Chain A
Amino acid sequence: MGEVIVITSGKGGVGKTTTTANLGTALAQSGSRVCLVDADIGLRNLDVVLGLENRIVYDLVDVVDGFCRLRQALIRDKRIDTLSLLPAAQTKDKTAVTPEQMKALTDELRQEFDYIVIDSPAGIEQGFKNAIAGADRALIVATPEVASVRDADRIIGLLEAAEIPPARLIVNRLRPQMVRRGDMMSVDDIVDILAIDLIGVVPEDEQIVVTTNRGEPAALIQGSRAGEAYRSIARRLKGEDVPFMDLEETSGFLDRLRRIFGQA
């Protein structure tokens, strides 16, 4: 029986879709059977991030409405044959699907896959409720900004209310140099404020823009810092104990001095 993991954030634009694509890719690369589900009905995006946009025939709403069988709507990734995508509908809106239907859909997917990774839409309305309906656990994506962390806090409350086990946090787009000079909240700051467990830190990486342009998840590319971070998160999801990359290494003289004086 597969496990259903929802990727959510509250705020838009923090990297949910990129995270879903890369985590799914990394999980599938390690041999697991993975189905990615785009739950952002009306604003389909996961297909283009994965480079699968030209292969869509049916979508999630077609499956739910009974226009096609689930298997017909799934797109198998040719680069990694254990990875599939269930695309969102582009022409409908979020009310086209109910939480009960999403739950039934994810339960069906559990029979075929080891991991079902759901890309949640931004917001806390019906699209979000649909996305979490069948989830066993949640990963929250937040960037080191006030608005993003604030929304993450709200989502944590809503997940608790929905009785989904404690979510784990992915800090995305961290810029270690800015953290070092005191102009960006550190991972510890964010974890301290949100009081949830960390599962990964993804550094800001220009390569994400390039790989997204090409429709090739960074997790496929050796040497990409962000890709490496996603592969580590995938291993932690599988229960491996993977040490965190030291992104905030304090190598400068000033940093060491601050530490000595207890200010760091």
Chain B
Amino acid sequence: MWTRNGSSKQIAKDRLRNVLVHDRADTSPEFMSHLRDDLMRVVSEYLEVGQNGVDMKLQSLDDHVALVASIPVKQLKRARQRSGNN
């Protein structure tokens, strides 16, 4: 009773948060495509990436949800090539 981590309330909150990550992503069709577009734009500033073979999804692990992205990298950009990074 001294530690709150094992309390059933905490378990309920954690389960709820995880399930809502999926629910909210699933019920908003644009969500994943917007996230993907924005993420690719940022990553492209640092890496030359291939647009084909990009895989991005929310995955349930034991006690949390992870955003798992697989993005083919062709080349790492040199510092002077990076835009917006003076």
Contacts and interface: CB of A to CB of B under 8 A. Distances in A.
Interface of A: 145-146, 149-150, 153-154, 157, 179, 181-186, 189, 193, 254, 263
B6 to A, nearest CB: 9
Interface of B: 1, 4, 7-10, 12-13, 15-17, 19-20, 23-24, 27-28
Contact of A157 (B7, B9, B27): B27
B49 to A, nearest CB: 32
13 contacts: A146-B12, A146-B15, A146-B16, A150-B16, A150-B23, A179-B9, A182-B4, A182-B8, A182-B10, A186-B9, A193-B17, A193-B20, A263-B4
B20 A185 contact: no
- Among A150, A154, A182, A263, the most chain B Cβ lie within 10 Å of the Cβ of A182
Contact of A185 (B13, B24, B27): B13
A157 B23 CA distance: 10
- Among B8, B9, B24, B27, the most chain A Cβ lie within 10 Å of the Cβ of B9
Contacts of A145: 12
B82 to A, nearest CB: 36
Contacts of A183: 7-9
A181 B1 contact: yes
Contacts, number: 46
A157 B20 CA distance: 12
Contacts of B8: 182-184
Contacts of A154: 23, 27
A226 B8 CA distance: 25
A154 B19 CA distance: 11
A149 B16 CA distance: 8
A145 B11 CA distance: 11
Contacts of B7: 181-183
- Among B4, B12, B27, the most chain A Cβ lie within 10 Å of the Cβ of B12
A181 B10 CA distance: 11
B9 A182 contact: yes
A109 B77 CA distance: 66
A8 B7 CA distance: 30
A78 to B, nearest CB: 43
A145 B10 CA distance: 12
Contacts of B9: 179, 182-186, 189
B13 to A, nearest CB: 6
A146 B13 CA distance: 8
A193 B16 contact: yes
Contacts of B16: 146, 149-150, 185, 193
